[in-house]
Amino acid sequence: MWRTSTSEPALRKPACIWSRQPGFEVTTIALFDRPTPLPGDISGWLETFAAGLLRPLSQPERAEFMAELRDELRAHLQQPDGSWIADYVRLRFRAVKRL
């Protein structure tokens, strides 16, 4: 799904940042969904990208938290065939240098 309205807050901020750069003008900007298949379930992704948030938990607390979170995310990120995806969103823009 492409979202290209510069009135959308998620697009307005990066467009504004680049427009403030000396000599640059944002000509196009878009967000698009980029569902990415994961090699296992969401647990491996969480262990990698949420390690800093999980560090204060003891091992039993971490295991319980991960199980609860995996169950909560299942309806959103697990596919009908049992595979999991990460629901990444990509920002693509074009800024040209004014002469």
pLDDT, tens only, 40-60: 999 999 989 999 999 999 999
pLDDT more than 70, % of the chain:
79
**pTM of this prediction?**
0.66
Choose among 33, 6, 5, 3: nearest CA to 18. 6
pLDDT tens, position by position, 35-45: 999 999 999 99
Residue-level pLDDT at 81:
96
Sheet holding 85-97, edge to edge: 2-3, 24-37, 85-97
- What are the boundaries of each domain within the chain? 1-36+86-99, 39-83
Place of tokens 């065939």: 81
